[in-house]
Structure 1
Amino acid sequence: MNALGRHILAEIYGCDNKILDDCKLIEEIMVKAAIEAGAEVCEVAFHKFSPQGVSGVVVISESHLTIHTWPELNYAAVDVFTCGSNVNPWDACSYLTKLLKAKNMTATEVKRGVFEQPVKVLSS
């Protein structure tokens, strides 16, 4: 069975709430997580909510990383979706767990674009 991509849905608990509410720091951590996983960063967009919380996306050549934080609950919801075999989404999740100073992380991996036959990717 072949898949086009791997999508990690991570629940990150017990994080440092000051980190979770710092938009600039969350952006830096997310970009570094993408690089740690071996991805090529294309674009970033982050937003600080009032009174608290941050949402953001790091667009990578291989797909994306997203985050939404709840500082008041010390919690972050993270998605890491990668295509191809050169990027390891678990490396990004581990890096994020460490830098958010989390006490616990649970995650589920979903295979995306599952095909019974090998997929031929056309190059441009």
Structure 2
Amino acid sequence: MHMILELYDCEAGQFDDVQWVEQVMVGAAKAANATIISVSFNKFNPIGISGVVVISESHLTIHTWPEYKYAAIDIFTCGDVLDGDAAVNYLKTAFESDRIDVRRLDRGQI
């Protein structure tokens, strides 16, 4: 399952704090019951963050545009153990997003 999230109107005050965004993404992985393998985040100058949480079940990624209060997030998982909806709800709440668009794609249907 590949969930593509677009979070608009993100009002969280720490939206451009790389350590906070990393904690939120790790929290979303944990909320989904994922097994975290590695974490890598980068803060751009002057603003914006990109990062990845690699999980045994695949990955979560984020790219932020603080000037637009917008975040693009992918949750890519395999198997049926993870709770993607729990991760989505966690992210929506943490980023204080007033509007979220979620698209779901079934991938790897071999």
CA contact (8 A) 1:17 1:72 kept: no
1:63 aligns with 2:58: yes
Q: Can you give the 5+ residue segments of structure 1 that lack an aligned partner in the other structure?
A: 1-5, 116-124
Alignment TM-score, normalising by the size of structure 1: 0.85
Alignment: residue pair count: 110
Aligned ranges 1:43-122 → 2 under 5 Å: 43-115=38-110
Distance 2:103 2:50 in 1: 20
- Length-normalised TM-score, structure 2: 0.96
| Structure 2: runs of 5+ lacking an equivalent | none
Percent identity over the alignment? 45
State the secondary structure of the residue aligned to 1:19.
coil
* 1:6-56 residue CA offsets vs partner (Å, 9 max, x unmatched): 000000001026322100000000001000001011100000001101000
Q: Aligned partners of 1:28 and 1:38: how far apart in 2?
A: 15
Report if aligned partners of 1:7, 1:81 keep a CA contact under 8 Å in 2: yes
Q: 2:22 aligns with which of 24, 27, 34?
A: 27
Of structures 1 and 2, the larger Rg is shown by 1
What CA deviation, in whole Å up to 9, does each residue of 1:68-114 have, x standing for no partner? 00000000000000111110222211110110011010110000101
